[in-house]
Structure 1
Amino acid sequence: MYFYAQSCPSTATAWRPTMASATPPSSPPITITASPAVSTLYDESNLIFMAQYGYSATSLTDGPSGVVNSFTINYPTWGPEYHYLVSKTPTPALKSGVSYQFSFNFKLGQVYGTYNRVSSMTLYLFRPDDITDPNGSSQYFTTSSGTPLLEKTFTGSFTSSTSFVANSVTIIPTTDIGESVLALKIQRTTQTGPVVTTIFISEMKLTIPSQPIVPPSTLLTKDSELVNIPKPPLSAIDIQDPASCPYAATNLVHWHDPTIWSGGVVPAPNTATITLPVNKRVLLSPCSISQTAVYQKIVIPATSELIFSDAAMTWNVKDIYVQGRFTMGTRSCRYNANINIVFHGARTTASTIATNFGSKGIAVASTGFISVQGKQYHQTWTKLAATAWSGDCIIYVQDDVNWEVGQQIVITTSIYKDNLRNQNEIMTIAAIEGKKIQLTTSLRYYHYGGQEYQAEVGLLSRRLVFRGDGNSSNTDSDQFGGHILVNSNGQFSGLQLIKMGQKNIKGRYPLHFHMAGTVTNSYISDCSVLDSYYRCYTIHGTNNLTLTRNVAFNAIGHCYYLEDGVEMDNLLSFNLAARIQTIGQPAAGSTQYGDDFTESDSLKQPADVTASGFYISNAWNSFIGNAASGGWASFSFPYLERPVGNFLTSPIVPFQYPLKEFNGNTAHSSGYYFEFGSSIYVGGKLTYDDSDGLLYYTNGRVSRETYSNGVENDANIVWMTFNNTKVYLSNRGIGMWGERSEANALESHDSRRPASLFGESWVNNALVNGQSANLLAKGNEVSRQGFQFYDTYVKTILTNVVFRNYATVYPYSQSSEDDNKVIISMTHSDEFKPQGISATRNITLQNCLASQIIGHNIVDTGSSRYFNFIDFDGTVTGRAGVPTIVGAHDKWWQFDSSCVYNSAWNSWVCDKGSREIANVQFWVPGLISRDESWPANSYVGYTYLFGNGISDVRRTVATRNAGVTGISNAGWYLYLTAGSPTYMKIWLSQVVYSNYVFLAVRYPASTTFSVSCEYKYNSQYSYNFTMAASPSAVRNGNGKTYHFDGTHLFVKLVNFRLDGSEYFSRGGAKIFDVYWEFLVHINAKNTVTPPVNGFFTGLSDVLPSSTL
């Protein structure tokens, strides 16, 4: 027989349970004047034994039975004289001048004797990167030569073997300490001797003392200095109309009314399938159901509706299938009750809800509709208005919020490597007064709230909660929570989802619009996801959906997930994602191309090795005001040549779509797993192999073209545009492998680099701050650069950029390229060499050392020899108003008397005048190749400047790798040590309109020549050159002549195909195109001094006249 948890007093149509009040609970006043003392405990769970030898996995074990917070140190025979206990968790932030206490109880495991004497202990606080990683695989202790942040040696009572004896030491930092690793060195008088010995320690802790609460003198009123990060408007608050509440309708019947059910009996929870009566609107009240028994399966027919009362209840259920309507509140009647649905079930891939809809959750059929809408909280997340320290129990936020006492919030990390050193904290509200919040416990970590950036504070709690049965024995270990799948229109707001998602089962996500097509009036708003086993919010085969004002914290796999590459015209606004964890080892790779990953049972979507806050398989969606903390990346835009999953036959090409809108988004604490990773990452390639039916993913470089309608057509070419973007604590803020990108209004703080952009790219109106006041960002973990110019075939323009706080030398710098510099070169390659591809204009330098403005690395490569950029107004080089060319270290760049060598920059700085950067490639059969890669030291000769009064040697090395970059409208003399060739092809890759290169090549007397030019794609630009009377006549001529003076062949290199339109221009700066396949051919013959194997050998190196 079935018994209700409680009996309902009536089955009358008009009866209703008492509905929850919309009146929020009142908060007690905040009267606390001092923060309580708070301690961090240490034991074998968060310590590791380290030494030079004598360590093992069992060096630390549980303490004596019955002794709380205790552990045992187990020493081997003849162990080391000293060792370290190193914390695996970050140390709280410590303030200068404050007294902190480190304490523990000590007891010897054996009677005090020769081999177990502890003479002293030393407490250290190390920078995390100065010692062996305590969370790594090694217990071998090493430390760099850097001075510890704190060091305190002390003695104590270390002789008792009969009882624990208390020991403590006071430490007073002399400077604020943000991030550190605590290590306790235990020094013995001897080795451990011939027998095994032990030490017991209990109650080891670091205590932050009680301190007076002093309100900040000022609170932040804006979150950024430059960019405009939008916030949800007050119009986002839904107007409530109690008369519209669904439970108030008069045509409802009660679940607990036997007469509505077949057979006249209310179904019991163990009924295999409970199908609602057709054509009925059924009201579910707390007294209608058992609050503890697990219901098996509920089916709502297409003509029926299940309506919840706005009254507190808990419903335990396995499956719910909605063919009709499922209603738990509406937009105008958000529910105020604490309603919980708990989904039950063991891990399975079977579809017990309905075909293809899985198990353990709610599935809404294409005929159905779901509305789950709970009390609205505004804002759902905000940011700190002042820095919160370890030990603080009061925080200040930037927005007035209607959050409630007892609710949980998350305060995000303020460190760079979030997933490696987790400092996100879930706290509970004790009291709240506007923007001032008291917490029930003190913060363990430091959370930054300076003007540069601030930790986010997100509300996790909601009145409506759907959750997986996380307390069961199978759910946590199997990572198999509940899921919601909507195959139609639906509305969700004010819902919390806990322990939802089913790891590595496609389509089983916490909240998921699945193959719904173009939806209308459908949204997910102000919800939260906590501790998800697989993703957060998924848009799959669905368009026109709104995701707004949601929060997600601690999820496995990509969080906000646009699944197959066909999802377009969706709006994602004002959402927060934090602490997103990859599936499997995070993707890395030693080259730009990363590593390769294949779909498997343990990695059903191989791109989850790069799990990110937002996964965007098709960019034609709108992203406004979102923030992502942590993850492999914060925003990930993978390259899909075609859709995957259910849309393999779709004709669209996802990667060809640009961003519909990307405005006011923030990304931080990500991008660090991969050397070329970034917080906003446009890269990685996902493909489907028809032959084996598997997905494949590569996390590295892949280029993309973008078009206005996603269809390849030169008339539709558009740029990927990022507006009002904020990045901080990033490896690289925006990383774009594609062909065209613009970052307009970019604010970057404490990032290794603010952006790394390929193709034609423009960074405009930016603030790039190398060092904020965040204590956690003041270490030497990484160096920081304002921007790195690439080494070949791109066009990069920086305009209206403020670079700030590049004022210190990186102590571990190995070259200028890994120092703290504003602009750095890329110099690793001889095969890839820069043309004229980089330009700046209107750059402001604030608190930047002169030596740190340009970092050029002198190495034996072409990319080093030809580093250059144009400073269009002289604001980088300190020559305001003077257009300037910056060239590399060789005197080859000293092209006139204006040039000055800056030894700090390893660069020449020259007036630009009317000159441009030029690049040509000499292709010599058997010597200099276009299509082969040769070692950097494969020297074949030199290229010299000549003429214009130059009589000294100003040259650079030529190698077998083609390409020479220099100054236009100048004399270039090519001398090859192997001899001059009988045939040479010259590609005028960048000899720009109205400019030329005056070329001289050494040949023996009596040589005759045939010189011509051609444009590969149009024969009308092909000419046969004629002999001119003199070198001067060639230089001053039309570029269709040559001259041989018995020593040098002179040719004026001019690209006749150009009309002056071949450039990329932004913000008053211009970069000319590399123009493909305009060629000059030189054929040489000499019967007096015949060539040897195609070369005229034995020629002396003679510089042409300085008067030319």
Structure 2
Amino acid sequence: MRSFWPALLLLLAACQVSPALPPNTGYWSDARFWAGLGLSKPQEGQDVTIPAGVRVILDESPPPLGGVTVLGELEFARKDLSLTVRYLMVHGPGALRIGSEEAPFTHRAVITLSGPPSDEDVMLGMGTKFLGAMMGGRLEIIGENRVAWTKLAQTAPAGTTQIRLVEPVDWRVGEEVVIASTALDPHQAEVRTIRAVQGTLVTLDRPLAYGHFGELQTFAGRVLDERAEVGLLSRNIVIQGDDNQAEGFGGHVMVMGASPSRRETNPALRSHARVRGVEFRRLGQFNRLARYPFHWHYNGDSSGDYLENSSFHSNFQRGIVVHSTDNVLVRNNVLYGTLGHSVMTEDGSEQGNRFERNLVVLTRAFPYLPSNPIQEAQNDHKAASFWIKGPSNAFVGNAAAGGEFTAFWFDNVGAVDASRFEFRDNVIHSYLLGKAIGAPGNTGDLGALWITGDRAAPRVHGPFLLQGLTIYKTRSALWANPVGDPAGEVQMEVRDAVLADNGVAIGSHGIRDSLIVGKSANLDAEGEIGRLGVQEYGGTTTLENVTFVNFGPGTSAIATRNCFREGPNMVVEGLRWVDAQFSLCNGSSDLSILDRDGSLSGTGRMGVVVPAAPGSQAMYTQACTLIAGVNARVCPVWEYFNLLLETDRFFRSYAPDAPNLLRDDGVVQSGSDISNPPFYWTLIEGQRYTLQTDLTRWQYVRLRLYPKYKNYDGVPRAAVVVLPSSTPAFTVYRCALELQRPGTQCAEKTELAPLGGLAELESASQPAYHYDAAAGRIYLKLFTHTSLLVQR
């Protein structure tokens, strides 16, 4: 009898191991539960459907399966698990749950997406080999919230096996980290496995091949931070493609609404993703649209969605893609070695998304493939760490830490919603800005931060207010392409920036309250680094409260790209010089710099600084004084203006009472565009303009008309300009448009005869003018692709 009771107690205890489950809830391992659903327990290779209203707890690692469709719920038990599937579809109102906000998943979970290259399309555009949520499906995948990335606390020389970090980390032995390059060459980024962690000291499995800078530097009271970023690549939840990597055909993750081609507007059909602490690897399907490691696709307003503290590496196409989706949070992720754009918005409709504190290391460019639809539309052969089509989003505290092409590319973005656009405290370094691999021709002008616009779009591209930037070790730090239409000019303003060790720090755009360092203690063998600070080239440039440091012989803090003038002039004030000098163009030039306070010339008073070269500047020799040690002269302001008038030259855009055109809709257009000298206006079709001063004050004006839209249909359209003129002593010429480079002054021209009245002008189908002597007004009519010159 004594042996009976212990056995009975053990039997009763065994019956109570698992608590009672709610109705329609069961364990994957329980064949009786599947039988109760009228199903058999899934076997290898089998397709599985979890019915709506049913919750399945995955408590074992099943054999490799076919497609798994979740209409109810699939939840991972709190243990180490693996799930291999051909695809995993979460269809609304279904949900996939691994951990939760309240209780993150702390074990190891691996989802492997398997299968060879295939054109199969499962469920409305999902393709195959995917983890997807559509029509209201939910992904809740919450792993450990780790220290995603930090920085070196001291320089790690080549050959060392230990790195010192700025903060203690929760990283573990056997996990992988990436150490970013701090040289111009982004390929000096290195991946290592952790051997030991003691506080801030991390021991690596093998020596570093390159040195990685890790010191703070101070110049003129400003701190320059060029410390290498170190990112954690390992996570306890893994979503991956299988070992079959033929043709770069990995898995992919997609979150979408009900249609693969229409933005979702029905809240009930929007899918949801809350993802944290996941390692994404062997994902993306090379050269296939919409097949990316993580992708919100036409999901509309996705407020509450996030992708945080995750890592992306060893992938085959792009990284994080937000397409026709608004209001998601992408924060604190680490991406390494992405092929194609690392982080991107796709079509320009995206708004309210926030990209915060992401680390992107070594973005790689696609090889150029002629007639490739992906490349031609989205430029992966010129891959950016952040490729942005929708500018009305926030970018805060990100580190773009190296790439073969560019860091932030705002590509033909159109109008910016200033209430939504935020660009603050981002870091950019180690960008080659090289020619696209295998692409014909060159890539044109670009910078590590590059803004391009539609050349004839009838809208303003901006304002792009860039605050708190740090950029170092690039061939060209900042560049915004000018566009043909002043109503579509790229407007970039840089404030509170630290730019160092760049071939060129900034092109023709404003910069204020900033530090520009030619060479720092972070040495690099690349000869172009630290060569130029501000390079003036065809755009209005304003420098206010800028400090230049360490621009020695052979370099120049302020320089001109070409001797030949291509745009308005520079305005400077509050410049400081620490072991720095400047040297202007050596050739004939129309360049002039308004030095408001003498901080450029060293005189301490307002003046105009011009190159000392002969040729077009020879006229300044009597009125102007050479500046010792540099190739420049300083001229008294009013004498300079008088000389311009006497020699039939233009007033500059900063001259008192410089002329403007007033558009009928109230927009004031200054007397210059960003690719031509003042008194040269680029107009928009269908608009009417009036000169705000009398023509007799000026020697001449020139105007040209471009099509309003990029895809010009070939039908000429007109614009009308009214010029007040109290004298009939003028001539109107039609200019050969192709000759209208700056300096030609309409070299090939045809004089126009006046028309008899406004009615005749209204019906004119060719460029023409009418002079109303009683009103003292010249009425000009321009047509698409024409240029007119009005000369006294």
- Name the TM-score, length of structure 2 as normaliser: 0.74
Partner of residue 556, structure 2? 821
Partner of residue 380, structure 2? 608
Q: How does 1:140-219 map to 2 (within 5 A)?
A: none
Structure 1 CA distance for aligned equivalents of residues 253 and 286 of structure 2 = 14
What amino acid sits opposite 1:880 in the alignment? G
| Contact 2:237-2:278 within 8 A present in 1 as well | yes
Q: How does 1:697-776 map to 2 (within 5 A)?
A: 702=455, 719-738=463-482, 739=489, 740-757=491-508, 761-775=509-523
1:432 CA drift (Å): 2.1
1:464 CA drift (Å): 0.4
Q: How does 1:237-316 map to 2 (within 5 A)?
A: 252-261=25-34, 262-263=37-38, 265-271=40-46, 273-286=47-60, 289-290=61-62, 293-301=63-71, 304-316=72-84
Q: How does 1:118-157 map to 2 (within 5 A)?
A: none
What amino acid sits opposite 1:298 in the alignment? V
How many pairs are equivalent? 635
Instruction: Mark the CA change 1:414 to 1:998 in structure 2 (over 3 Å): closer, same or farther.
Output: closer
Structure 2 CA distance for aligned equivalents of residues 394 and 726 of structure 1 = 27
Q: Which has the greater radius of gyration? A: 1
Instruction: Mark the CA change 1:967 to 1:728 in structure 2 (over 3 Å): closer, same or farther.
Output: closer
Instruction: Mark the CA change 1:655 to 1:480 in structure 2 (over 3 Å): closer, same or farther.
Output: farther
Structure 1 CA distance for aligned equivalents of residues 650 and 395 of structure 2 = 42
Among candidates 111, 118, 127, match of residue 341 of structure 1 = 111
| Contact 2:121-2:128 within 8 A present in 1 as well | yes
Partner of residue 798, structure 1? 543
Partner of residue 875, structure 1? 599
Q: After alignment, is 895-904 or 543-552 more displaced?
A: 895-904
Structure 2 residue 584 is the aligned partner of structure 1 residue 855: yes
| Contact 2:184-2:526 within 8 A present in 1 as well | no
Partner of residue 15, structure 1? 18
Structure 2 CA distance for aligned equivalents of residues 480 and 752 of structure 1 = 38
Among candidates 626, 636, 639, match of residue 901 of structure 1 = 626
Instruction: Mark the CA change 1:682 to 1:917 in structure 2 (over 3 Å): closer, same or farther.
Output: farther
Instruction: Mark the CA change 1:249 to 1:430 in structure 2 (over 3 Å): closer, same or farther.
Output: farther
| Contact 2:694-2:725 within 8 A present in 1 as well | no
Partner of residue 516, structure 1? 299
Structure 1 CA distance for aligned equivalents of residues 655 and 125 of structure 2 = 66
Structure 2 residue 112 is the aligned partner of structure 1 residue 367: no
Partner of residue 312, structure 2? 529
What amino acid sits opposite 2:500 in the alignment? H
Structure 2 CA distance for aligned equivalents of residues 680 and 425 of structure 1 = 24
Instruction: Mark the CA change 1:531 to 1:1022 in structure 2 (over 3 Å): closer, same or farther.
Output: farther
Structure 2 CA distance for aligned equivalents of residues 371 and 294 of structure 1 = 22
Structure 1 CA distance for aligned equivalents of residues 591 and 272 of structure 2 = 56
Among candidates 169, 174, 177, match of residue 409 of structure 1 = 177
C-alpha offsets along residues 984-1019 of structure 1, whole Å, 9 cap, x if unaligned? xx996699989998989xxxxxxxxxxxxxx98335
Partner of residue 319, structure 1? 87
C-alpha offsets along residues 912-944 of structure 1, whole Å, 9 cap, x if unaligned? 358549878xxxxxxxxxxxxxxxxxxxxxx85
Instruction: Mark the CA change 1:257 to 1:833 in structure 2 (over 3 Å): closer, same or farther.
Output: closer
1:531 CA drift (Å): 1.2
Among candidates 212, 224, 228, match of residue 447 of structure 1 = 212
Structure 2 CA distance for aligned equivalents of residues 1016 and 492 of structure 1 = 56
Among candidates 237, 247, 252, match of residue 478 of structure 1 = 247
SS in structure 1 opposite 2:65?
strand
Instruction: Mark the CA change 1:918 to 1:895 in structure 2 (over 3 Å): closer, same or farther.
Output: closer
Q: How does 1:684-1083 map to 2 (within 5 A)?
A: 702=455, 719-738=463-482, 739=489, 740-757=491-508, 761-775=509-523, 777-781=524-528, 784-791=531-538, 794-809=539-554, 820-827=555-562, 829=564, 833-835=566-568, 837-848=569-580, 852-858=581-587, 864-890=588-614, 892=617, 895=620, 899-902=624-627, 904-912=629-637, 916=641, 1017-1018=721-722, 1020-1024=724-728, 1079-1081=790-792
Structure 2 residue 414 is the aligned partner of structure 1 residue 665: no
Structure 2 residue 167 is the aligned partner of structure 1 residue 435: no
| Contact 1:856-1:905 within 8 A present in 2 as well | no
SS in structure 1 opposite 2:468?
strand
Partner of residue 345, structure 2? 562
What amino acid sits opposite 2:562 in the alignment? T
| Contact 1:917-1:965 within 8 A present in 2 as well | no
Instruction: Mark the CA change 1:834 to 1:355 in structure 2 (over 3 Å): closer, same or farther.
Output: closer
Structure 2 CA distance for aligned equivalents of residues 415 and 1024 of structure 1 = 64
Structure 2 CA distance for aligned equivalents of residues 834 and 334 of structure 1 = 58
Q: Which segments of 5 or more consecutive residues in structure 2 lack a partner in the other structure? A: 1-11, 217-223, 257-270, 435-442, 483-488, 657-676, 682-690, 701-718, 731-774, 776-786
| Contact 2:251-2:282 within 8 A present in 1 as well | yes
Structure 2 residue 268 is the aligned partner of structure 1 residue 503: no
Structure 2 CA distance for aligned equivalents of residues 605 and 454 of structure 1 = 36
Structure 2 residue 392 is the aligned partner of structure 1 residue 620: yes
C-alpha offsets along residues 587-644 of structure 1, whole Å, 9 cap, x if unaligned? xxxxxxxxxx74348x47551111111110110000000111223111111115xxxx
SS in structure 1 opposite 2:561?
coil
Among candidates 616, 633, 636, match of residue 406 of structure 2 = 633
Structure 1 CA distance for aligned equivalents of residues 215 and 318 of structure 2 = 31
What amino acid sits opposite 1:1018 in the alignment? V
Partner of residue 230, structure 1? none
Instruction: Mark the CA change 1:825 to 1:376 in structure 2 (over 3 Å): closer, same or farther.
Output: same
Instruction: Mark the CA change 1:800 to 1:300 in structure 2 (over 3 Å): closer, same or farther.
Output: same
Partner of residue 491, structure 1? 274
C-alpha offsets along residues 545-604 of structure 1, whole Å, 9 cap, x if unaligned? 000001100111111121122111100000011111111149xxxxxxxxxx74348x47
Structure 2 CA distance for aligned equivalents of residues 250 and 725 of structure 1 = 56
SS in structure 2 opposite 1:478?
helix
- 4+ long deviations beyond 6 Å: 9-14, 247-251, 917-920, 962-969, 990-1000
1:1024 CA drift (Å): 4.0
Structure 2 CA distance for aligned equivalents of residues 724 and 13 of structure 1 = 61
| Contact 1:869-1:887 within 8 A present in 2 as well | no
SS in structure 1 opposite 2:115?
coil
1:675 CA drift (Å): 5.8
C-alpha offsets along residues 330-388 of structure 1, whole Å, 9 cap, x if unaligned? 12211111111111110112113x2310111211112211111101113x111111111
What amino acid sits opposite 1:616 in the alignment? I
What amino acid sits opposite 1:350 in the alignment? E
1:745 CA drift (Å): 1.2
What amino acid sits opposite 1:720 in the alignment? F
C-alpha offsets along residues 449-498 of structure 1, whole Å, 9 cap, x if unaligned? 1223111111111000111113x3xx1x4111111111211110000011
Structure 2 CA distance for aligned equivalents of residues 756 and 508 of structure 1 = 37
Structure 1 CA distance for aligned equivalents of residues 126 and 634 of structure 2 = 66
Structure 2 CA distance for aligned equivalents of residues 807 and 876 of structure 1 = 16
Structure 2 CA distance for aligned equivalents of residues 427 and 788 of structure 1 = 39
1:883 CA drift (Å): 3.6
1:270 CA drift (Å): 1.8
Structure 2 CA distance for aligned equivalents of residues 987 and 605 of structure 1 = 35
1:737 CA drift (Å): 1.5
1:885 CA drift (Å): 3.1
Structure 1 CA distance for aligned equivalents of residues 495 and 519 of structure 2 = 22
1:403 CA drift (Å): 2.0
Q: Which segments of 5 or more consecutive residues in structure 1 lack a partner in the other structure? A: 1-8, 17-246, 587-596, 641-653, 686-701, 708-716, 810-819, 859-863, 921-942, 946-961, 970-985, 1001-1014, 1027-1056, 1058-1075, 1082-1108
